[in-house]
Amino acid sequence: MNTGKQAIENGKAVLGIELGSTRIKAVLLGEQYETLAVGTSDWENHLENNIWTYPLEEVWSGVQESYASMAKDAAEKYGVTIKTLKSIGFSAMMHGYLPFDKNDRQLTAFRTWRNTMTGDAVKELTDLFQYNVPLRFSIAHLYQAVLNGEPHVKDVSFFTTLAGYVHWKLTGKKELGIGDASGMFPIDIAKGTFNEHMIALFNDLVHQKGILWNLEDLLPDVKKAGEAAGTLTAEGAKLLDPTGNLVPGIPLCPPEGDAGTGMVATNSVAAKTGNVSAGTSIFAMIVLEKELSKVHPEIDMVTTPSGELVAMAHANNCSSDLNAWANIFREFSEEAGIKMDPSKLYGILFNTAMKGDKDCGGVLSYGFLSGENIFPLNAGRPLITRLPDSNFNLSNLMRANISTAFGAVRMGLDILTEQEGVTIDEITGAGGIFKTPGVAQKIMAAAFNTRVSIMETAGEGGAWGMAVLAAFLTDKKDGETLSDFLKNRIFVGQQKTVADPDPEDVRGFNDFMQRYQDGLEIEYAAVEHLKEKES
């Protein structure tokens, strides 16, 4: 208690805030990188005019609420008010499109990573660059706007990601961590910045269409982990903490994406390490030793926060429909007069899944609330289907709902292991889906046929990882790499649980996966015939 109080009073604590898909979380760390205080704010994306978005007003109300919640937690535990910090870092959902004009006026609603209407742009840019450009990359959204003839395009002066936007408003700096930047536009790994050759190709392409600006003038500056990225301005301090207690001048580390913070939080930034971050979306990250042999549309090439090449198998949908089913059972229990704590409810549902058949008893689930890039699915329709003689019970329903959360990303990993010969010895998992011990972890081990470890810090997630990156800015020694910093100073003595793939579970999941792939035509048909109402 005294150590934590002194760290806060002396301005030695570090803060990480991450804007996730459904929650904004703030984590305060002490001088030994222990968690001192936590604050959260819940939010949810909106589907407006067929665009998944978050209003920027909700960005700031959520950031302020999470900070205030964390500050209140610190005050209640230690009896102190936060006035200054050693360093701060912000992270958020990667990708998406936030364009501004020369007067810093927002030009369109924020288009999040969840939007998949950039197919025409992706095809042209992937062919042009000979480099996979995923549907959710920022450059895909910008070029799709060009192809659509959207009037705002001519006025774009700057565009960035959500983390880059928050950082800009707090520091005045239009900068971005290299991991988050790699989800905007391809990175030149050797130079550690945006690929200049591809920028030149893009400029030629849009100039032919009458666009006058050059792409390099629109992009943020790229920074690696540990590099200075500005300080909190007076306006930024007031924006973050409207009470006026927080003073300006605090250094900020480069803002990062949730993929990068997931790698940090699982100690997976060195070559041949891998991690899976599972939440609203899910992505598997494998740090590579060399470039892949060819372009794979299903595999995204991004980087760690320190700039190493990473292959990412990403799926837009993971736990949203699983959460919807849990909510159905919550409503039922309340109708029955039983008010149940969410952790207990999830524990019951997840544990009963382990009683189900290895192949989910013939039950097939698709949790697609939105489209997917692993296969050509431009929209989502969550559904459950089965044969009449399936073993339909609660255990198999829940096992199918958990298994399907790993379905799309499994298809991406198959490309890495079967076509590129990438070896995965162990994957570290992080995210809320792993909170019930031994359930999703064991099913994922079967899905990927590899060892899956869960660290004791996994529940802290990306905000904790971002706080670690903030600490790296101020605490690193000369020549100390991020990988060494994590290994020698953050994860020393870290406890983890390990699940090896059970051969019967692997066979059962493979049977489920065959059914999953065979049934995709059902999902395509649902998208075609179940139309959304016009806004």
State the burial class of residue 344 (Cβ atoms within 10 Å of its Cβ: 0-12, 13-18, 19+). Answer: exposed
CA distance 275 to 259: 9
pLDDT digits (tens, 9 = 90+) for 376-410: 888 999 999 999 999 999 999 999 999 999 999 99
| Average pLDDT value over all residues in the chain | 94
Domain 1-317+405-499: which topology?
Answer: Nucleotidyltransferase; domain 5 (3.30.420)
Nearest to 372 by CA among 480, 283, 287, 306: 283
* Residues forming CATH 3.30.420.40 domain(s) in the chain: 1-317+405-499
Closest by CA position to 71, among listed 40, 43, 42:
40
Determine the Cα–Cα distance for residues 58 and 61; give it in Å rounded to an integer.
5
Q: What three-state secondary structure class fits 410?
A: helix
Of the pLDDT bands very low, low, confident and very high (cuts 50, 70, 90), residue 107 is very high
How far is it, in rounded angstroms, from Cα 223 to Cα 176? Answer: 6
Tokens of 123: 């095809």
CA distance 400 to 453: 22
Neighbours of 306 (CB within 10 A): 24
Compute φ and ψ for 525, nearest 5 degrees: -65, -40
Contact criterion met (CB below 8 Å) for 318 and 279: yes
Confidence band of 484 (pLDDT split at 50, 70, 90): very high
Q: Is 271 exposed, middle or buried (0-12, 13-18, 19+ CB in 10 A)?
A: middle
Query: Of 360, 364, 390, 389, whose CA–CA distance to 522 is shortest?
Result: 364
Handedness of CA 352, 353, 355, 361 (dihedral sign): positive
In this prediction, residue 430 carries a pLDDT of 82
Q: Going by C-beta distance under 8 Å and a sequence separation of 6 or more, which residues neighbour residue 27?
A: 15, 16, 17, 35, 37, 38, 70, 460, 463, 464, 466, 467
What's residue 460's pLDDT?
Answer: 62
pLDDT at residue 534 is higher than 80: no
HEC per residue, 93-119: CCCCEEEECCCCCECCCCECCCCCCCH
Radius of gyration of the chain (CA): 23
Which of 188-197, 247-256, 451-460 is least confident?
451-460
3 state DSSP class of 83: coil
Long-range contacts of 121-128 (CB under 8 A, 24+ apart): 121/146, 121/147, 124/205, 125/202, 126/295, 126/297, 128/198, 128/201, 128/202, 128/205
Residues 41-76 pLDDT 10s: 999 999 999 899 999 999 999 999 999 999 999 999
As a whole number of angstroms, the distance between CA 284 and CA 514 comes to 20
| Residue 138's pLDDT band (cuts 50, 70, 90) | very high
Lowest mean pLDDT, pick from 6-20, 55-69, 149-163, 429-443: 429-443
0.75 surpassed by pTM: yes
Q: Are 232 and 169 in contact (CB under 8 A)?
A: no
| pLDDT at residue 437, as a whole number | 92
Taking 3-state DSSP, the helix, strand and coil percentages for the chain, each rounded to the nearest 5, stand at: 40, 20, 40
Task: State yes or no: pLDDT of 367 exceeds 80.
Answer: yes
pLDDT exceeds 60 at position 459: no
* pLDDT greater than 80 at residue 533: no
Q: What is the pLDDT of residue 145?
A: 98
Sign, Cα dihedral of 206, 212, 218, 219: positive
